[in-house]
Chains A and B, each alone.
Chain A
Amino acid sequence: MRQETKRTLRRFMRNPSAIIGVSILIMFTLVAAFAPVIAPPINPMDPSRKVSNPYIMPKITWKAEPIPPSSRSDAVKEFIAKAMKKQLYKSKKEDLIPVVEHILRRARAGDLCEAYSKSYKIKSQVRKKLLTLVPELKKDGFSDPKSLINSYLPEDFKIICSETARIDGGFAKFLKSFDPKKMSKGDMVKIILYASKYLSIEDLKEAAAKLFKVDKEDIYRWLKEKKYIERDPIRTVDYHPFGMIDGRDIMYGVVWGTRTAFRIGLIVTFFGTLIGLVVGSIAGYYGGWIDEVLMRITDVFLSIPFLVAAIVLTTILGTGLNKVMIAMIIFGWMGTARLIRGNILQVKEEQYILAAKALGVRDFLIIMRHVIPNTIFPVVIQASMRMGSLVITAAALSFLGLGAPTGYADWGSILNYSRDWILGAQGEAFKYWFALTYPGIAMVLFVLSWNLLGDALRDTFDPRLRG
């Protein structure tokens, strides 16, 4: 028995489609497992704020939850002014505004703060100053700014840098080599874009104007020209290698979408197959009127076009990924039911069943030893093939706007989200190719790998096909 298992495994591993399919699947599994490392979710560091759902692709534009400057307390404003005048002014760097803004908004401020303070040897002062601001910061909506400041101002700059590197390689590099005198245009773009995650457009304009000594409106025009402000895909940034669409990082979506794909595939396949198995085997095994009733029900379900059914169901249940999954389960079990019923009917007639009966084997053992093994493999194979195609169906539903909400990390949703850019620009059909290509490639590979796996399973485990 064990020898046979080994042999089967060896046969499986020698099958080229198994190797390809399994490798791709392993890759996807790793991506799904390490999604938080590959594409770290941007959470507010302040623990009192609600941790956002990592499956919602963060919108990385300066429009992202900007705190209007007017709502800032006077003390904070004053600090900014003082900071600019005093210690920081010594280094002639009023460009600390974005830094301080940053500190006041997000915990990652520590990184920037450290970088600046290192460059200008004012670390301790900045820190001290910040600590005096604790009560004001509290008023500004931060529940525990002291520990926030402390924890993000560690003594060793290297730690900060490595920490930053973990978050954002491009930006860490930038920090390490930060020297405003030598700063290039490219670096400016980087800092602007980085700041864009946290600053309002007004703040940014101001910061940029101060930092680069350019006219505010020039900056704005430039940004607009480069499509950084308008709702438009961008594909410029080092640390968004797959490009961005409307402020959302496609790579983030593709990486977290892997988890979504697995979730949809596994849950829907599991429950769909289970329902199909129960219905099909009851119908096939008992036959007679039970079979008749169950199969007519199956026919009714089959006769409803899936997309129409899904649309109707989501209008009843409401849209959303879970609703789509429910719809896919409710209208996705018939294939399995028919398959298992047909197989049981066929196997029941097989002569080896008669031969086993002629040897005096009991009914129960005949079902367990002879019927099930000859009927279950096609179901398993079908299930693994369905894993892939389900993701396509879910994507289609998301594309129709029935599935995941806007910005959800789901390949289909990304495609839906980037629908406006799919056709490209005037005269430049492939201008926004990345909007389709990366999620598309992910989807194709996912479906392909499950199909290859299904094929390989059939080749190896279905002894009837063995050569």
Chain B
Amino acid sequence: MMSVNREPILQVKNLKTYFYTEDGVVRAVDGVSFELYPGETLGIVGESGSGKSVTSLSIMRLLDEKGKIESGEIIFKGRDLLKLPEHEMRKIRGNEIAMIFQEPMVALNPVYTIGDQIMEAIMLHQGADEKKAREMAVDLLRRVGIPEPEKRVDQYPHQLSGGMRQRAMIAMALSCRPSILIADEPTTALDVTIQAQILDLMKELQEEYGMALIMITHDMGVIAEIADRVAVMYAGHIVEYGEVHEIFKRPRHPYTYGLLSSIPRLDVEQEKLKSIPGTVPDPLNFPTGCRFHPRCEFAEDRCREEEPEMVEVLPDHYSRCFFWKKLEGLEVK
């Protein structure tokens, strides 16, 4: 799927998003760059608080008043989204770039039927009349695998199960056939069997609609399932970036290595589940040098003083670590 030669549909360059809170400046996203190619799936993975959601909200320009995009460029189809006036940006939201959220319970408005909410987007961007929009909504619901869509279209969010709500959210996001879909942890709130169904559905729809997908998750399993390429985020940085198989086979950043080792596996007998020691650093107060050094088993003095740059360790495989070579030969157990 991956094609380096094609033009990227979305290019994020050195994005910095800070929150100016009462306690100080939260550097939630601090120099993130990646590309998204048409039709591919990019996974963004990282622990809670690493800045994944802020990255996606920055792309949509939907940050709250405290959040400011300090610098960077977000090039979508040749235009910098950060320079567009608000009304132009609104035409892009939902229509060109759509988004689905982590909590299907709260991302649907409780006072409207799901039909109403899907129709809202259709009528907004496609100028369809109510009758047409309703037909389209029923079709979409059927397409995302909701049984009895004619009945469900008139139901309220609370009348649907979590999985069905997420399907309805997907229908809503896809209603205008966007070219990019950003899914922010779409399966985290669902139980495992439903997770798998939703991921399958998204893969199917992605192929059918030919759209690019940014899949945000903290679950390496989801990445393995769906992504073509992956960006691993840690403390506002992308620390490793490359093709999925490559990274799973040859992680070149200790954090990625840790994440991969902590996936429970059935084929290998493990005495104890490995996990990365320590916690995500306080974004108000990142450690000096490499932000991962307090938790890194390979850390040396240099890591505490100097901040590593992104380096291409292998073709199309980038890592933000001085000592990536130490990971050569190490196998993910």
Give A359's nearest chain B residue, CB to CB. Answer: B94
Question: B109 contacts which of A3, A357, A370 (Cβ < 8 Å)?
Answer: A370
Stretch from A117-125, A186-194, A348-356 forming part of the interface with B: A348-356
Q: What A residues does B110 contact at CB under 8 A?
A: 352, 374, 463-464
Question: A360 contacts which of B106, B111, B124, B156 (Cβ < 8 Å)?
Answer: B124
With an 8 A cutoff between CB atoms, is B150 at the interface?
no
With an 8 A cutoff between CB atoms, is A362 at the interface?
yes
Q: What B residues does A466 contact at CB under 8 A?
A: 156, 158-159
- Please determine whether B98 and A358 come into contact, CB atoms closer than 8 angstroms: yes
Q: A3 vs B101: C-alpha distance in the bound complex, in angstroms?
A: 30
With an 8 A cutoff between CB atoms, is B93 at the interface?
yes
Give A376's nearest chain B residue, CB to CB. Answer: B111
- Please determine whether B120 and A358 come into contact, CB atoms closer than 8 angstroms: no
Give B89's nearest chain A residue, CB to CB. Answer: A360
- Please determine whether A351 and B124 come into contact, CB atoms closer than 8 angstroms: no
Q: How far is the CB of B114 from chain A (nearest CB, A)?
A: 11
- Please determine whether B158 and A357 come into contact, CB atoms closer than 8 angstroms: no
Q: What B residues does A350 contact at CB under 8 A?
A: 106, 109
With an 8 A cutoff between CB atoms, is B125 at the interface?
yes
Q: What B residues does A357 contact at CB under 8 A?
A: 60, 62, 93
- DSSP majority for the A interface? helix
- Please determine whether A360 and B93 come into contact, CB atoms closer than 8 angstroms: yes
Q: What A residues does B120 contact at CB under 8 A?
A: 356, 359, 361, 369
Q: What B residues does A370 contact at CB under 8 A?
A: 109
With an 8 A cutoff between CB atoms, is B91 at the interface?
yes
Per the 8 Å Cβ criterion, residues 305-358 of A in contact with B are: 350-352, 354-358
Per the 8 Å Cβ criterion, residues 106-154 of B in contact with A are: 106-113, 120-121, 124-125, 154
Count the A-B residue pairs with Cβ separation under 8 angstroms: how many?
75
- Please determine whether B111 and A373 come into contact, CB atoms closer than 8 angstroms: yes
With an 8 A cutoff between CB atoms, is A4 at the interface?
yes
Given A354-B101, A374-B110: A463 in contact with B158 (beta carbons within 8 A)? yes
Q: How far is the CB of A200 from chain B (nearest CB, A)?
A: 67
Q: How far is the CB of A314 from chain B (nearest CB, A)?
A: 42
- Please determine whether A352 and B109 come into contact, CB atoms closer than 8 angstroms: yes
- Please determine whether A374 and B169 come into contact, CB atoms closer than 8 angstroms: no
Q: What A residues does B111 contact at CB under 8 A?
A: 373-374, 463
* Binary flags per residue of A364-381, CB closer than 8 Å to B gives 1, else 0: 000001100110000000
Q: How far is the CB of A359 from chain B (nearest CB, A)?
A: 4
Question: A359 contacts which of B103, B124, B154, B158 (Cβ < 8 Å)?
Answer: B124
Interface-central residue, A4, A356, A361, by most chain B CB under 10 Å: A356
- Please determine whether A360 and B103 come into contact, CB atoms closer than 8 angstroms: no
- Please determine whether A358 and B156 come into contact, CB atoms closer than 8 angstroms: no
- Please determine whether B93 and A355 come into contact, CB atoms closer than 8 angstroms: no
Q: What B residues does A356 contact at CB under 8 A?
A: 109, 120
Q: How far is the CB of B165 from chain A (nearest CB, A)?
A: 11
Given A360-B90, A361-B124: A352 in contact with B158 (beta carbons within 8 A)? no
Q: How far is the CB of A431 from chain B (nearest CB, A)?
A: 55
Given A358-B98, A360-B125, A361-B124: A463 in contact with B156 (beta carbons within 8 A)? yes
With an 8 A cutoff between CB atoms, is B172 at the interface?
yes
* Binary flags per residue of B49-65, CB closer than 8 Å to A gives 1, else 0: 00000000000101000
- Please determine whether A355 and B169 come into contact, CB atoms closer than 8 angstroms: yes
Give A288's nearest chain B residue, CB to CB. Answer: B65
- Please determine whether B101 and A355 come into contact, CB atoms closer than 8 angstroms: yes
Give B106's nearest chain A residue, CB to CB. Answer: A351
- Please determine whether B109 and A374 come into contact, CB atoms closer than 8 angstroms: yes
- Please determine whether A351 and B158 come into contact, CB atoms closer than 8 angstroms: no
Q: What B residues does A359 contact at CB under 8 A?
A: 93-94, 98, 120-121, 124, 172-173
Question: B92 contacts which of A352, A360, A362 (Cβ < 8 Å)?
Answer: A360
With an 8 A cutoff between CB atoms, is B166 at the interface?
no
Per the 8 Å Cβ criterion, residues 277-312 of A in contact with B are: none
A residues whose Cβ falls under 8 Å from a Cβ of B: 3-4, 350-352, 354-362, 369-370, 373-374, 463-464, 466
List of 10 A-B pairs having minimum Cβ-Cβ separation, nearest first: A359-B94, A360-B93, A360-B94, A352-B109, A358-B99, A351-B107, A351-B106, A360-B90, A359-B121, A355-B107
A–B Cβ pairs within 8 angstroms, 13 of them: A350-B109, A352-B110, A355-B99, A356-B109, A356-B120, A358-B94, A358-B98, A359-B120, A360-B90, A361-B124, A373-B111, A374-B109, A466-B156
B residues whose Cβ falls under 8 Å from a Cβ of A: 60, 62, 90-95, 98-99, 101, 103, 106-113, 120-121, 124-125, 154, 156, 158-159, 169, 172-173
| Additional 10 contacts, C-beta under 8 A, given A350-B106, A358-B62, A359-B94 | A4-B113, A350-B109, A351-B107, A356-B109, A357-B62, A357-B93, A358-B93, A359-B93, A359-B124, A361-B90
